[in-house]
Amino acid sequence: MAEKVLLKLTDVLLRAEAEKFSAAESRHSEPSLFGVTDGKAVGTYLEHKFREYLTKHYSFEAGNSASGIDFPDLGVDMKVTSIKQPQSSCPFKSARQKIYGLGYSLIVFVYEKIDDAAKKTATLRITNTVFVDKQQTADFQISKGLRQILDNEGNADDLIAFMVEKNLPVDEIELNSIAKELLKNRPAQGYLTISNALQWRLQYGRVIEKAGKEDGVYSVYKCPVIPENTGPESGVISVVKNA
């Protein structure tokens, strides 16, 4: 029997398959997740399952510690987060990431975990799946503020004062270097909220809100509203929402 030839995965195919996967996962009952409240464990489960799903149909480079992202050949990282607090962390590389973006795109799965006490299973209802192009992965307020200063004929001093006010984690030499670059290379508007920490803390509330409304922020999947106290299958079940 001839070996199955796999299609090469592209970002367009990734978005299309993420939509199908999100719909299917929202209907799936998973015993191993029942009672689990650790968001990291839920994220690991969903990330592994989506990669395995893609592996059946597509060829792609698997992420590793060196690349630091899930789909290095596509320049895309995968994030999984609860709708209760849609955020995650990512490695800090440079303060410029707040201004010019992370350097890669994001596919973000946002879930609501529902436990079925009667069946002792859990369902991850995917509320939103969003794809953010790398050009739009800068911090919203910082990129917006810098763009406004440039629009108002601001100079390097204005840019530096703004970055100092926003506590950009850089020294004076780097501030001057970034200001000079900004005058030559205007940043795109970002839509993440990026908080300073040992790692960047990425918050996704705005990209969920803006998905499908702004260039580079794609609404891949949005879960239909279901009535309270109903489950993924037909019929009313006893549910407990957590994680």
Q: Which residue is associated with the tokens 């529902």? A: 114
What is the distance between the alpha carbons of residues 11 and 71, in angstroms, rounded to a whole number? 10
Q: Over the stretch 78-93, which tens digit does the pLDDT of each residue have?
A: 999 999 999 999 888 8
Q: Over the stretch 200-218, which tens digit does the pLDDT of each residue have?
A: 999 999 999 999 999 999 9
What is the distance between the alpha carbons of residues 44 and 124, in angstroms, rounded to a whole number? 13
pLDDT of 3 strictly over 80: no
The residue-averaged pLDDT of 70-74 equals: 95
pLDDT of 230 strictly over 90: no
Q: Cα–Cα distances in Å, from 121 out to 31, 49, 86, 125, 158?
A: 4, 17, 23, 13, 56
Amino acid found at 126 = I
pLDDT of 69 strictly over 90: yes
Show the tokens assigned to 25: 């996962």
Q: Over the stretch 76-130, which tens digit does the pLDDT of each residue have?
A: 999 999 999 999 998 888 999 999 999 999 999 999 999 999 999 999 999 999 9
Angle at 130 between CA 41 and CA 14, to 5 degrees: 85
Domain boundaries, the chain: 7-85+105-132+218-242
The residue-averaged pLDDT of 45-65 equals: 91
More confident residue, 227 or 68: 68
Q: Over the stretch 160-188, which tens digit does the pLDDT of each residue have?
A: 999 999 999 999 999 999 999 999 999 99
Nearest C-alpha neighbor of 100 from the set 132, 143, 146:
143
Show the tokens assigned to 122: 């859990």
Whole-prediction pTM: 0.88
Angle between helix 11-25 and 39-55 (nearest 10): 120
pLDDT of 225 strictly over 90: no
CATH of 7-85+105-132+218-242, one of 3.30.70, 1.10.760, 2.60.120, 3.40.210: 3.40.210
Q: What are residue 173's DSSP bridge partners?
A: none
Q: What pLDDT shows up at residue 1?
A: 53
CB burial string 142-181: b at 16+ within 10 A, e below: bbebbbebbeeebeeeebbebbeeeebebeeeebeebbee
